[in-house]
């Protein structure tokens, strides 16, 4: 395993301009040579833009259909999804897929000593991150809500795929793991259709399948302060995910509160990390691990990552960033049309 270094760019005044990550795909519609066409299509789904680039015209349709299928199953924003029905009733016989992803989530909870926890859903609601009406709750409200948090409150009945919550009011949010899983499912569908080369970008959750006309796919890490990139990655058959505090957050009293929570305190995490990028063989691992490392911070996070085979981690620390915008609240990356 390779644990990567920090992304830093030193400007003329030796100022570190380090930067939150947004992925810009370097692949463009045409490679420049005749008969080397790439088809590119984008759709709004799972609360973000899903972009597909492939020399095979069928790829985008296959990816969108599969991501939509997963959204219908796992989105807490869709009232009829299995996750929403489970959240409402506290007990549900689920499909094997929903059971699988909740089981995987519980495994990450165990592996991370509780840092990764899908039962943060009531906290995400309380702080206004679900409806995007951010607010600073009262201390007592946070304390009460913490009674509903903890994946030990999820009981898995293997025999019939039933999920049961031990406490009334417990809810789950798969926002930190299901995007990665959706991309994995889409990649499987592409392979089944015989499509060997494709790049999927679901709001920064990326998979590079095969190559681009014999060369690795190139993914760039964007400098959000100006046009341009801070680093490039060349990837083949790899998933990438980034978790950070720079897209969904609000600022109060000059302090930043972002959408990733410390399940022990009930507050948005401040672990000294600005963003974590994980490159892994599959999207689920990359997604869940990036969020977990963000919660754990650099030292514990890297120690955990070392337990996963073939994983690379890149971390930007707060101390590397000089520009931090602490004046205005904003949400980027989630389109207004939702
Ligand atoms: P990640 O770091 O991967 O995940 C952060 C998210 O995980 C938080 O937003 C929170 O929900 C949850 N979380 C916070 N703390 C923890 C923790 N300690 N452990 C585990 N989980 C934690 N958004 C919309 O606005 N509208 C939609 O219709 C919509 N539909 C969606 C459907 C699906 C199937 C999924 C997976 C997500 C959907 N989203 C929707 C959510 C949106 O895309 C999220 O912003 C996204 O999932 C967060 O991903 P990320 O990569 O930014 O951050
Ligand atoms: Mg994640």
Per-residue pLDDT at 4 exceeds 60: no
Q: What is the pTM of this model?
A: 0.88
pLDDT recorded at residue 35: 64
Q: Closest residue (by CA) to atom 4 of ligand 1?
A: 176
Q: Which of 6-20, 23-37, 176-190 has the lowest mean pLDDT?
A: 6-20
Q: In the Cβ-directed half-sphere of 277, how many Cα atoms lie within 13 Å?
A: 26
Q: Closest residue (by CA) to atom 29 of ligand 1?
A: 47
Ligand 2 centre distance from Cα of residue 135 (Å): 23
Ligand 1 site residues, Cβ closer than 6 angstroms = 46-48, 70-71, 74-75, 77, 116-118, 120, 124, 129, 173-176, 178-179, 203-204, 243, 247, 259-261, 263, 287, 290-291, 295, 334, 338
CA angle (50 as vertex; 44, 51 as ends), nearest 5: 125
Which one has a higher pLDDT value, 80 or 325?
A: 80
Q: Closest residue (by CA) to atom 3 of ligand 1?
A: 176
Q: What is the pLDDT of residues 96-150, one digit of tens each?
A: 999 999 999 999 999 999 999 999 999 999 999 999 999 999 999 999 999 999 9
Ligand 2 centre distance from Cα of residue 290 (Å): 5
Ligand 2 centre distance from Cα of residue 164 (Å): 24
DSSP-derived secondary structure letter, 247: S
pLDDT recorded at residue 325: 46
Atom of ligand 1 nearest to the CA of 294: 2
Q: What is the pLDDT of residues 212-226, one digit of tens each?
A: 999 999 987 655 444
Q: Residue 240's pLDDT band (boundaries 50, 70, 90)?
A: very high
Please list, in sequence order, all residues whose beta carbon lies within 8 angstroms of the beta carbon of residue 78, skipping any fewer than 6 positions away: 71, 72, 84
Please list, in sequence order, all residues whose beta carbon lies within 8 angstroms of the beta carbon of residue 315, skipping any fewer than 6 positions away: 4, 6, 273, 275, 276, 277, 293, 298, 301, 302
Residue 23 phi/psi, 5-degree rounding, is -95, 135
Q: What is the pLDDT of residues 174-232, one digit of tens each?
A: 999 999 999 999 999 999 999 999 999 999 999 999 999 999 999 876 554 445 566 77
The distance in angstroms from the start CA to the end CA of the chain is 39
Per-residue pLDDT at 13 exceeds 50: no
Q: How far apart are CA 219 and CA 214, in angstroms?
A: 15
Atom of ligand 1 nearest to the CA of 77: 28
Q: Which of 43, 47, 105, 149 to mutate to test the pocket of ligand 1 (most atoms within 8 A of CB)?
A: 47
Per-residue pLDDT at 23 exceeds 90: no
Q: What is the pLDDT of residues 56-103, one digit of tens each?
A: 999 999 999 999 999 999 999 999 999 999 999 999 999 999 999 999
Concatenated DSSP letters of 96-116: HHHHHHHHHHHHHHHHTTTSS
Q: Residue 6's pLDDT band (boundaries 50, 70, 90)?
A: very low
């Amino acid at each position: 395993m390779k644990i990567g270094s920090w992304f830093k760019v030193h400007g003329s005044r030796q100022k570190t301009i380090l930067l939150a990550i947004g992925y810009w795909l370097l692949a463009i519609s045409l490679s420049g040579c005749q008969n080397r066409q790439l088809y590119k299509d984008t759709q709004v789904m799972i609360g973000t833009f899903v972009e597909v680039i492939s020399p095979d015209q069928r790829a985008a349709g296959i990816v969108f259909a599969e991501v939509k299928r997963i959204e219908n199953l796992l989105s807490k924003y869709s009232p009829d999804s299995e996750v929403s029905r489970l959240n409402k009733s506290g007990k549900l016989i689920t499909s094997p897929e929903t059971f699988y992803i909740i089981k995987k989530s519980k495994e990450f909870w165990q592996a991370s000593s509780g840092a990764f926890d899908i039962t943060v859903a009531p906290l995400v609601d309380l702080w206004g991150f679900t409806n995007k009406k951010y607010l600073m709750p009262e201390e007592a409200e946070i304390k009460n809500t913490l009674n509903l948090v903890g994946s030990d409150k999820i009981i898995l009945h293997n025999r019939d795929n039933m999920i049961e919550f031990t406490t009334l009011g417990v809810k789950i949010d798969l926002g930190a793991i299901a995007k990665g899983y959706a991309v994995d499912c889409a990649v499987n569908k592409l392979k089944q259709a015989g499509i060997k080369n494709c790049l999927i970008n679901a709001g920064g959750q990326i998979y590079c399948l095969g190559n681009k006309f014999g060369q690795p796919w190139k993914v760039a890490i964007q400098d959000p302060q100006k046009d341009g990139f801070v680093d490039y990655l060349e990837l083949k058959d790899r998933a990438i995910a980034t978790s950070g505090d720079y897209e969904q957050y609000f600022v109060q009293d000059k302090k930043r509160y972002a959408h990733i929570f410390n399940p022990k305190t009930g507050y948005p995490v401040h672990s000294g990390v600005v963003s974590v990028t994980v490159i892994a063989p599959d999207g689920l691992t990359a997604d869940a691990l990036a969020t977990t490392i963000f919660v754990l911070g650099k030292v514990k996070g890297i120690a955990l990552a070392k337990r996963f085979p073939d994983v690379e981690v890149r971390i930007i620390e707060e101390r590397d960033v000089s520009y931090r915008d602490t004046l205005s609240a904003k949400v980027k990356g989630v389109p207004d049309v939702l």
